[in-house]
Chain A
Amino acid sequence: MLYVIHVGRFALIALLPWLSLFGQDVAALEAQAAKYLQEQKPELAIPVLEKIVALDPRNVNAQANAGVLLFFQDRYAEALPHLRAALALHAELSRIEALLGMAERRTGQSKEALPHLERSFSGLDDPKIRIQVGLELIELHSAAGRFENALSVAGTLEQLAPQDPQVLLSAYRLARQMMDQSLMSMMVAGPESAEMHMILGGELARRGDRENALVHFREAIRLKPSLPGAHFQIAEQMRSSPDPALNAQAEDEYKAALRVNPYDELAWRELAGILNAKGDFEAAEEDYRKALALQPNDSEAKTGLAIVLIATNRNSDAIPLLESALKDDPTNMTAHYRLSGLYRRAGRAADAEREMAAFRHYTEVKDKLGTVLKQLVGPAGAK
């Protein structure tokens, strides 16, 4: 006989057919428990299972099932002895160990929980349970400031379930915690440092406070003129401003960034974008090529270079470049759109349609994301 117990998100399979070791009493109880389990009546099955383990403490199935049922009744403290007993009787029960670790954590026994969760995490083959255990591990590690360990688990989960909202939320929280931790550490270690101003500038920029972000980035440069990234951040803020006077200064800031760090690939790329917009196609092409020499897989740089080639009537050269850009980043919407147009001009209607379909697909995805983000940042009480 094989019993399947459906509780919560888990579908635990009882280990083996029950063995009647101790005569008719145990056998009768087992039959009764089995009946309740089949009927999905865990509240009735639990006392029967407890009677079995009282008669037969080494009954691994009864111990395990009692522990599982109690766990999913949120009776963690009562579940613990049964889960521990089952694990002691059968050390390879990864699912039972996972529940044990989670029960221990929920009863304040984090220290005991950690090895159980870690061991079960590596031994589990059911992805759902593994994700749950991993999420618990990330929380445990993060709470203890063990971000490296948490990151390792998060990395495994993102590979296992890259589109699981729970996993993504956990990764997001972890990143925020690490940012907060770094900020706190910086406030202690270098509250007046250039690097501190870079952090503050970044935070303000993220909140849309361009004016004050620029103040901090400039202060960072005043304190440490050779600080990499500061000029680039200023340039980015200037470029995205609605103010034409600030826009006009962005080019010089990218150039300043490159004087500090000639290997700043992003600065070369963005500078090329500005030159392209000015119609200085020759200089733009040169700088895009510098960016690509530093980062050959930069999909955006390849796309930018392709745009320059199109502007200078070199469509046939732009096509392979855009195709390559899409190998680097299949979600590059601009590359899909541009490539569709070039294919159409080249008489490759089917290819053009394929690229347009891809473009429309990613447009829809982006629009949905935009809607979600707007809902997230919208003022409370919005219509």
Chain B
Amino acid sequence: MTRNAATAFAIFGGVAALAVCMGQGSPAALPQLADITASTKIRFQHLASPDKKYIVESMSGGVALIDYDRDGWPDIYFTNAPDVDMQLAGKKARSSLFHNNKDGTFTDVTDRAGVGYPCWANGAVVGDYNNDGWPDLLVTCFGGVVLYRNNGGVNFTDVTRDAGLGGDTMWAMGAAFGDYDGDGLADLFVSHYAAYDLHDLPAFGSMINCTYHGIQVQCGPAGLKGSPDNLYRNNGNGTFTDVSKQAAVDDAQKLLGLTAVWSDFDNDGKIDLFVANDGAQNYLYRNDGKGRFTEIGFEAGVALDENGKPLANMGVALGDYLHTGLPSVAITHFSEQYLQLFRNDGKLAFTDVSNVSRIARATTHVVGWGDAFYDFDNDGWLDLIAVNGHVYPQVDEAKIGVYYREPGQLFVNQRDGTFRDASDQVGQGWKVPRVGRGLALGDLFNDGGQEVVVENLEGEPAIFRPEGGARNHWVGFELGGTKSNRLALNARVKITAGDLVQTDEVRSSGSYLSQSDLRLHFGLGAHRRADKVEVYWPSGGSQVLRGLDADRFYCVKEGAGVVPCDEIRPPAARTAK
């Protein structure tokens, strides 16, 4: 079901295609991020109490791109959460799944899919826990997790208890699937935030941790006790076993865990684990093999900021923005801190280059959440995008120069290790202040441009489509594991097109509480073909593909190479259970 760019443009026609054509006349111009939310016909409102008296009311808002029916067109799941009063009164908030109609619009299929009311939903990530080729959905909750098994692309069943995940009652935020032990099955890590009791809540403005520049606000995260984290090993029979302690990733310090991501940071074939902790040091767990990890955040230089201060680590983006073949790490933070960029120097050594890269100064005044490395102009160099939004509505009335709603930011890769703040140059829609939280990337319309899907804490989500700019080429890959896990999580692809050499990795989770499209997307600039594509599978095997034409998606099967997509997708949809 791949499409080339011309076909996709033809599907859309109208305004979108016109904008693309207009952009061709000025190749130096940046693409514009057009707000296309209304035209998608997605209608969704994230619930929010007006005052945000409790921190738990400020943290939800994840978005997951999941091609749940494996038709090759990403669908969208938005989490939703009640406020404290609703929760105590037994009222629920409806999360929503939207099916991609392949014509630029989406249809709300939440009810028939059975994913509307998982819990007090924070984030959502995608993995195939039963390795049947149908992507499953894991929702992190205030009160554990909910695992939805995908029933053949028709609907979902809550299998949390059957899978052995029902014992988690803590405030879960981050989660990520990944095959840490190399058995071809996706294991699951869940990070937890604060130990928080809705029946014993710290009163608004009641102590020093509940003030912000003299304003009374919600309490926390300072002063809150944290909860430990969990690693669940996939037993291969639809259940998991908690191996947190024996793997040494249980967070004995009980820090306030947020985003967690698996990645092979040192290309040694074993995936490592990064956990962003709010207001404390980040964890980098080196995979030592044999089911054990060693926490090396301090030694690796990713625990704190460059001067040794713990920051409010929230969203995590990974990307090879320097073309070194290694994923660097970008982390969003609170205001009066900055978006932190850790350059991966290899051998699990990182350098905080936030200042040198020109990112820090531009991000000091915002509270950042979802973020991603994003080649929005398809020039082959990863740019960086982030959404912002404060946690305290009260800042608006305090007149301290900080605002609740904040516009997103986009930084253009200067190809020399630095970025240029282009936030004001990519369209009016992007400049609208919002209370942003989740952010996910995916080529929703299979036209070669990755859309940005943002879930806002307050009100409607926002979907941005890159339009105009240079007429650059691209290529996309949908991977199917055979010996490796079927969704090919943490498979790496190295692509060479002329002088462009890029590397990316299929990842579950990332950004803030979010899941981007599992397909890998590479901008190729002016190159019309990928000369060489190397695929490194989690199983240890690799493949080399040569001379792939640009501007289309390829389905690649482990051990077989480029195949018709049906060969890596599961057979016909099964009857819903």
Chain B residues whose C-beta falls within 8 Å of the C-beta of A311 in the assembled complex: 355-356
B364 on the A face (CB < 8 A): yes
Q: Determine which of A242, A276, A352 lies in contact with B365 in the assembled complex, contact meaning CB atoms within 8 Å.
A: A242
Inter-subunit contact B298/A242 (CB<8 Å) = no
Chain A residues 303 to 354 lying within 8 A of chain B, measured CB to CB, are 307, 311, 333-334, 336-338, 341, 344-345, 352
Given contacts A337-B308, A379-B206, A383-B206, contact A241 B361 (CB under 8 A): no
Tell me the residues in window 336-383 of chain A with beta carbons closer than 8 Å to chain B beta carbons: 336-338, 341, 344-345, 352, 356, 359, 363, 374, 377-379, 381-383
Q: When the two chains form the complex, which single residue of A246, A379, A381 contacts B401, counting CB atoms closer than 8 Å?
A: A246
Q: B360, A242: Cβ atoms under 8 Å? A: no
Contact in complex: A278, B298 (CB < 8 Å): no
Interface string of A211-248 (1 = CB under 8 A from B): 00000000000000000000000000000011111110
| A296 interface hit (Cβ, 8 Å) | no
Verify A382–B208 contact, CB threshold 8 A. Answer: yes
Q: Which residues of A contact B335 (CB under 8 A)?
A: 242
B201, closest chain A residue (CB)? A383
Closest-CB distance, A251 to chain B (whole angstroms):
12
User: Which B-chain residue is minimally distant from A362 (CB atoms)?
Assistant: B308
Instruction: Say whether B572 faces chain A, with CB atoms less than 8 Å apart.
Output: no
Cβ contact within 8 Å between A279 and B358: yes
Q: How far is the CA of A338 from the CA of B223 in the complex (A)?
A: 28
| 8 Å CB contact of B213 from A242, A333, A336, A341 | A242
Q: Decide if A145 is an interface residue (CB 8 Å cutoff).
A: no
In the complex, the answer to whether B203 meets A344 with C-beta atoms within 8 Å is no
Output the least CB separation between B210 and chain A (Å): 8
Q: Which residues of A contact B15 (CB under 8 A)?
A: none
Does B304 have its Cβ within 8 Å of any Cβ on chain A? yes
Q: Are A277 and B360 in contact, CB atoms less than 8 angstroms apart?
A: yes
| Residue B423 interfacial (CB < 8 Å) | no
CB distance from A250 to the nearest CB of B (A): 12
- The answer to whether B206 touches A344 (Cβ under 8 A) is no
CB of A208 within 8 Å of the partner chain:
yes
Number of interface residues of A (CB under 8 A): 34
Q: Is B349 an interface residue (CB 8 A)?
A: yes
- Is B14 in the interface zone, CB < 8 Å from A? no
Contact B308 A307 (CB under 8 A): no
Are B349 and A334 in touch, CB under 8 angstroms? no
Q: Does B301 contact A (CB under 8 A)?
A: yes
The size of the chain B interface, using a CB distance under 8 A, is 29
Instruction: Tell me how far the C-beta of A348 lies from the nearest C-beta in chain B, rounded to whole angstroms.
Output: 13
B404 to chain A, nearest CB (A): 13
Report how many A-B pairs have Cβ atoms within 8 Å. Answer: 74
> B21 at the A/B interface (Cβ < 8 Å)?
no
Q: Is the CB of A383 within 8 A of B214?
A: no
Residue-by-residue, is B197-225 near A (CB-CB < 8 Å gives 1, otherwise 0)? 00000110011110001100000000100
Asked if A279 and B356 sit within 8 Å, CB to CB, the answer is yes
Is A336 a contact partner of B214 (Cβ separation < 8 A)?
A: no
Residues of B within 8 A of A359 (CB): 308
Q: Is the CB of B207 within 8 A of A241?
A: no
0/1 string, B394-407, CB within 8 A of A gives 1: 00000011100000
Q: Is B253 an interface residue (CB 8 A)?
A: no
Contacts A242-B336, A242-B365, A277-B360 given; does A338 touch B298 at CB 8 Å: no
What 0/1 readout, one digit per residue, does chain B (350-389) give for beta carbons within 8 Å of chain A?
0000011010110011000000000000000000000000
Given contacts A246-B401, A334-B308, A345-B349, contact A208 B365 (CB under 8 A): no
- Residues of chain A within 8 A (CB-CB) of B402 are 242-243
Asked if A379 meets B208 with Cβ closer than 8 Å, knowing A242-B401, A242-B402, A356-B298, the reply is yes
Question: In the complex, are the beta carbons of A244 and B308 less than 8 A apart?
Answer: no
Q: Which of A241, A279, A307, A381 makes the CB contact (< 8 A) with B400? A: A241
A277 and B355: CB pair below 8 A? Answer: yes
Given A242-B402, A345-B349: A382 and B308 interface contact (C-beta under 8 Å): no
The reply on B307 being an interface residue by CB < 8 A is yes
Interface residues of B in 272-298 (CB under 8 A from A): 298
Residues of chain B within 8 A of A307, CB atoms compared: 306-307
| List of A residues within 8 angstroms of B358 by Cβ | 279
Task: Confirm or deny: B567 has a beta carbon within 8 angstroms of a beta carbon on chain A.
Answer: no
Chain A residue contacts of B401, Cβ below 8 A: 241-246
B299 within 8 A of A: yes
Bound CA span A375–B358, Å: 38
- A208-B213, A243-B402, A344-B349 known; A276 vs B355 contact (CB < 8 Å): yes
Residue on B with the closest CB to A281? B356
What separation, in Å, do the CA atoms of A299 and B89 have in the docked complex?
57
Bound Cα distance from A242 to B337, whole angstroms: 10
Question: In the complex, A379 Cα to B207 Cα: how many Å?
Answer: 5
Query: In B33-62, which residues have CB < 8 Å from any A CB?
Result: none
With A338-B308, A374-B209, A382-B208 known, 20 other A-B pairs at CB within 8 A are A242-B335, A242-B402, A243-B400, A245-B401, A276-B355, A277-B360, A277-B361, A333-B307, A333-B308, A334-B307, A344-B349, A359-B308, A374-B208, A374-B223, A377-B208, A381-B206, A382-B207, A383-B202, A383-B206, A383-B207
List 3 A-B pairs, minimum CB-CB distance, nearest first.
A243-B401, A337-B308, A382-B207
Can you give 11 contacting A-B residue pairs, CB < 8 Å?
A242-B365, A243-B401, A244-B401, A277-B360, A307-B306, A333-B307, A378-B208, A379-B207, A379-B208, A382-B206, A383-B202
